[in-house]
């Protein structure tokens, strides 16, 4: 149902005045007024519940999602059932780049790590907008380059750095895309994202808690000392941050 401001909401429980501003997504916020106004009537707000698989590996993606809250993980799964996160996306970006990159599908699945909301744009509309060669095309390609940098650095990090360093990187990247200092996630979920045993995750998090960098509760991690996490993390965190700041409109003010 269209609302007066031109937006539509796919869940009818909430009132129109409670709709989040689409410009909470930094890519949408970077668009010129005329481009943004043209897209408003095409944007649909959708809830992203925790654990929702937005698309499976190889799926034909029908919508491009612009998160305004929450965290989405891109996950690669192997035949033996093991998996690993290759990248994560928050309100700095978009989900569904295969729509405009021409590949039609991705080898990764797309899962919601932390619940939130997103504005979605249909494949048809996005392809048309992309063909215009305007600012949306420009920021979409810049974001894709930033995502490639994140994916590449994650691969290097997984190969060359300790689990302690990788954990700090993952915690900081997730925290950057969260509201507040609490991450709602289990040890089991983290183990699947990092591609390691749950016992190893519990051991590393336990040590970080002992060192007073964080506090653990069932299904929750509260960050207590971000500065110390930044001291312990490997170079990969800063490398990815610098690329996002260099490429994305207005930098990446996490």
Tell me the pLDDT of the chain (254 aa) as tens digits: 333 344 555 544 444 457 999 999 999 999 999 999 999 999 999 999 999 999 998 888 999 999 999 999 999 998 888 899 999 999 999 999 999 988 777 889 999 999 999 999 999 999 999 999 999 999 999 999 999 999 999 999 999 999 999 999 999 999 999 989 999 999 999 999 999 999 999 999 999 999 999 999 999 999 999 999 999 999 999 999 999 999 997 665 55
Length of the chain: 254
Structural domains in the chain, sorted by start: 8-134 (2.60.120.10), 162-233 (1.10.10.10)
List, as one string, the DSSP characters of 11-41. Answer: -TTS-GGGPPPGGGSHHHHTS-HHHHHHHHT
> In whole angstroms, what is the distance from residue 73 CA to residue 114 CA?
9
62 phi/psi in degrees, rounded to 5: -100, -15
Query: What residues have CB less than 8 Å from 98, skipping those under 6 apart?
Result: 61, 104, 105, 106
Cα 99–chain centre separation: 17
């Amino acid at each position: 149902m269209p609302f007066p401001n031109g937006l539509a909401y796919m869940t009818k429980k909430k009132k129109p005045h409670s709709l989040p501003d689409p410009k909470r997504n930094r890519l949408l916020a970077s668009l010129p007024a005329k481009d943004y106004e043209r897209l408003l009537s095409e944007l649909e707000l959708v809830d992203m519940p925790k654990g929702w698989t937005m698309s499976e590996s190889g799926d034909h993606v029908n919508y491009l999602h612009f998160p305004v809250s929450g965290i989405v993980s891109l996950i690669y799964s192997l035949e033996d059932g093991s998996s690993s996160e290759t990248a994560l996306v928050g309100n700095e970006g978009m989900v569904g780049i295969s729509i405009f990159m021409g590949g039609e599908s991705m080898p990764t699945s797309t899962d919601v790590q932390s619940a939130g909301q997103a504005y979605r744009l249909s494949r048809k509309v996005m392809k048309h907008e992309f063909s215009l060669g305007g600012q949306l095309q420009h920021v979409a390609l810049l974001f894709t380059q930033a995502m490639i940098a994140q994916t590449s650095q994650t691969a290097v990090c997984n190969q060359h750095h300790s689990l302690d360093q990788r954990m700090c990187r993952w915690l900081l990247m997730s925290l950057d895309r969260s509201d507040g200092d609490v991450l709602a996630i289990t040890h089991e979920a983290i183990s699947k994202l990092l591609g390691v045993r749950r016992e190893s995750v519990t051991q590393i998090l336990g040590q970080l808690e002992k060192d007073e960098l964080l506090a653990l509760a069932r299904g929750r991690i509260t960050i207590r000392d971000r500065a110390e996490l930044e001291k312990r993390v490997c170079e990969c965190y800063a490398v990815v941050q610098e690329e996002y700041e260099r490429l994305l409109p207005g930098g990446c003010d996490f």
